[in-house]
Amino acid sequence: KLKQVETERSAVKKALSEMTRSKEGLEEEKVNLESDLDALRYYMKQERENGRGVATLYEKCQAQLQLKEEQLLLEEKDKRHAEHSLQSVQLEKSIAEQRMQLLEKKLSEIQPDLENERKLRLQQERILDEHLQKQQQSHEERENNSTSTVTIGEELGRPSLALDNSKLQEEISVLNRDMQRQSASFREREELLMNEKNTLLENLEALRRKVNLNEDALQLEQETVGRERALEELETVRKQLLRATSERGDGLEENGGPGQPERRQRRRDATELQELLEREGLLSQQLSRTESRCSELESERHRQSLELVEKDHALETCRRELGAARQRAEELDVALRGGREETAKLLVREESQKERMVQAQSDNLLLRQQLQEASAKVLQKEAVVTGIQDRFDDLLSKLQADKNQREQVLEERNQELVASAICLKETLKKLEDEKNNNEDLLHQRKQDLADALKKLAMSEASLDFTVNHRTALEAEKSQLHNNLESQRQQVQAALQQSRREAAAHAASDHEHACSLDRDCKSLEETVKQLSEEKNALEEKLKQVNYFHNDEQRLEELTRQLQAAHDTAQSLQRSNRELEEQLRRSKRHLQVPAGAALSRGRRSRDLRALKHLRRYSRLNLVKNAAPLRAARSIEDCAKLSAAPPLRKLSLNLQSQAVSQETLEGLRSMNELHLKRLMEQKLQELEAEVERLRSNAEESQRATEHLQAELRRYTSLYQEELSCRKALSAKLER
């Protein structure tokens, strides 16, 4: 029976060990599956974060598009401002044209006065010619009729006629000098007026050309800048769209089998992409419109250049007509000089004629009146010319003031641009250093990402394997669960039997302990008897010392006594140990099965069990009952130690799971930090690109300002040359 019980116990122990092993394996598989589930949840969270990243990218794209729209609005405002400035320039141009028209009107008003003066001169010359002809006719008639009386009259009136002739000659010379001076002054004034008119026309033409060129340059620059900005914006939008689509495609490929929400998200992304493409089409239409506008402006510029050429031809024809008029005036002056010479000759001939002198005096009076009228007109013309010169001086002073203001503004702008260029260079250096550092970090992070992606691929493959293995394990688990239930029933029945046997063993142990107590008492009595016998033998030995033959017997007796004494001591020790073990077993039996034992107690119990096993092995032959008690105690200790050991194993498993979860959280945090760093790196790259674009725009602005400075310097030099020419003409 004992052998059967032992075999059953060993079988139960083996079954229990197998059950514990299977439980541990199942728990390990459960932990692995939970870790896989956590990894899947983390992967799903990553995918959600990727979706959120795509949404944030889309929002960023929308924000960038809004910023671009705002920039387009600002460009439209700048265009409007430029149009207003062009309108102001056109107003200035119209004002200058009005001034030119006023000058032309004044010139047209002065020209009839000059023509009237010329007509008066011609009339005077005609009157003088007629008077000379009449004098010649009268002189011939008088010579023919009174040849005889002339000699007497000449002799009588020679002194009076000489005086009159001398006076008349002096007056005629004075009048001729006055006429020459007036004609010279008129010619000089006409030349000055014509030169001023030509200079004003040239200045107006130059101003018109400059204004038109400035308008065309401004329009072309604005349109080119708008084109470049629109193209850059389109390129950035296309890049962002490609990035978003690639990221979305990668996310969908990683998901493997997206559900309905992912399909909805894909549809939303597709609709958003369609909207972005439509907006791109609208921007391309706007670009085509701007290009058509540029072509229209170029055609208008070409047309205006043709109109300017036509106006130049018209001005050349006007100049030719003015040259022909000047030639005619010179011819008339030459004719006047010839007539004056003839009048001088005729006056010499008329020295002897009184009638001629009287007529000459009357003519002189008329000429004096005409000269006074002409001098009054000349004074009026001089006043008009002085007013025109004053206005011209005012215009020159205004132009100088505007030029000085522009020079100051340009100097201030140049200083500001130099300072801003220095700051931008410093910032560019800093940004380049930061970019190099960020590129190194990016390279490292990309390598880390590549390693992480490889690990992800491996984990995905392991996930697939674990999923398949999990299904198989679930089937095995169900089978094992059924087997466990059947084995539990068997174990419970065996446990009940073992408890009954343990109770019987406990009773037998109690009886055995009582018998051991009795044996101990009997052994003590025997020890006492042996000690008494020893004492008696010693007394006998003392009495029979002289018996040498009994020495060997005495030695044997002493050896027997020592052996008996040793056996008594060993029995006492064994009794004490057995009593202690019984007490411990009783304590273990009194403790409930579900109580938690400490590690020290378990170690003591194990040591006690080992000691009992050793002692039982040594005393199997001697003591069968103590062996049974030891076995029963060992079984009870195992039964009492099983639940706390299970609890400890569960605690260890929970600790392992918590450690794995902590490692998963650490990995999640590391991935989150990596993503944050990638986002920061992307933001830094965007900022670097933005700063580069700003630097390029600032360089373009500086180049534009330098071109404007060159243009203004060239204009200033042209104005200086014009002023020098005008001052030289005025001095002349």
Dump pLDDT digits (tens) for 461-471: 655 665 666 66
- Of the listed ranges 111-115, 116-120, 163-167, 683-687, the one predicted with least confidence: 163-167
Non-local CB neighbours of 485 within 8 Å, separated by 6+ positions: none
Among the listed residues 254, 250, 231, 253, the one whose alpha carbon sits nearest the alpha carbon of residue 242: 250
- Whole-angstrom CA distances from 13 to 141, 494, 506 are 185, 11, 21
Q: 30-34, 151-155, 418-422, 478-482 — which is least confidently predicted?
A: 151-155
From first CA to last CA, the distance across the chain in angstroms is: 155
- Under the banding of pLDDT at 50, 70 and 90, the label for residue 621 is very low
Nearest to 689 by CA among 455, 432, 490: 432
Distance CA 726, CA 200 (A): 10
Query: For residue 227, what are the contacts with CB-CB under 8 A and spacing of at least 6?
Result: 287, 290, 291
User: Stretch 137-156: mean pLDDT, rounded?
Assistant: 57
Residues near 565 by beta carbon (within 8 Å), at least 6 away in sequence: 527, 530
| Residue ranges in 591-623 assigned as alpha helix (H) | 599-618
CA dihedral over 121, 126, 132, 138, signed as positive or negative: negative
> Secondary structure of the chain: what % helix, strand, coil (to 5)?
95, 0, 5
Instruction: Compute the distance between CA of residue 137 and CA of residue 151 in angstroms, rounded to an integer.
Output: 20
Of 361 and 721, more confident = 721
pTM as predicted: 0.23
**The residue to which tokens 């409930």 are assigned:** 592
**What is the C-alpha separation between 264 and 270, in angstroms, rounded?**
10
Question: What distance in Å separates the CA atoms of residue 602 and residue 640, rounded to the nearest whole number?
Answer: 10
pLDDT of residue 550: 47
Query: For 296, what's the count of Cα atoms within 13 Å in the CB-facing half-sphere?
Result: 7
Nearest CA-CA partner of 190 in 261, 114, 119: 114
pLDDT of residue 596: 39
**CB-count exposure of residue 636 (10 Å: 0-12, 13-18, 19+):** buried
CA–CA dist 730, 732 (Å, integer): 5
Nearest partner of 57 among 241, 233, 268, judged by Cα: 241
* pLDDT higher at 84 or 309: 84
Angle at 258 between CA 253 and CA 262, to 5 degrees: 105
Identify the DSSP state of 593: T
- Specify the pLDDT at position 546: 45
463 compared with 21, residue with greater pLDDT: 21
Contact 217, 85 (CB under 8 A): no
Contact in structure between 604 and 588 (CB atoms under 8 Å): no
Least trusted range by pLDDT, from 46-60, 260-274, 423-437: 260-274
In which band, very low, low, confident or very high, does the pLDDT at 632 lie, cut at 50, 70 and 90?
low
**Once rounded to an integer, what is the mean pLDDT over residues 683-695?**
70
Residue 28 has pLDDT above 80, yes or no: yes
pLDDT at position 35: 81
Residues sharing a CB contact under 8 Å with residue 581, sequence separation 6 or more, in sequence order: 608, 612, 629, 630, 633
Give, as one character, the DSSP assignment of residue 146. Answer: -
Locus of tokens 């729209």: 69
State residue 46's pLDDT score: 80
- Summarize pLDDT for 206-251 with one digit per residue, the tens: 667 766 666 666 666 677 676 677 667 766 766 666 666 666 655 5
Q: Considering the chain, what is the average pLDDT of its residues?
A: 66
> Which of 55-59's residues contact partners 24+ apart within 8 Å by CB, and which partners?
57/240, 57/243, 57/244, 57/247, 58/244, 58/269, 58/272
Question: Between the ranges 5-14, 232-241, 423-432, where is the mean pLDDT highest?
Answer: 5-14
- CA-CA distance, 379 to 385, in Å (whole number)? 10
The half-sphere exposure of 328 on its side-chain side, counting CA atoms within 13 A, is 8
Q: Which long-range contacts (CB under 8 A, 24 or more apart) does 488-495 make?
A: 490/15, 491/12, 491/15, 491/16, 494/8, 494/12, 495/639
Q: Name which of 68, 413, 21 is nearest 236 in CA terms.
A: 68
Least Cα distance to 356 among 122, 152, 124, 136 occurs for: 136
Confidence of residue 590 (pLDDT cuts 50, 70, 90): very low
Closest CA to 222 of 18, 77, 399: 77
DSSP 691-711: HHHHHHHHHHHHHHHHHHHHH
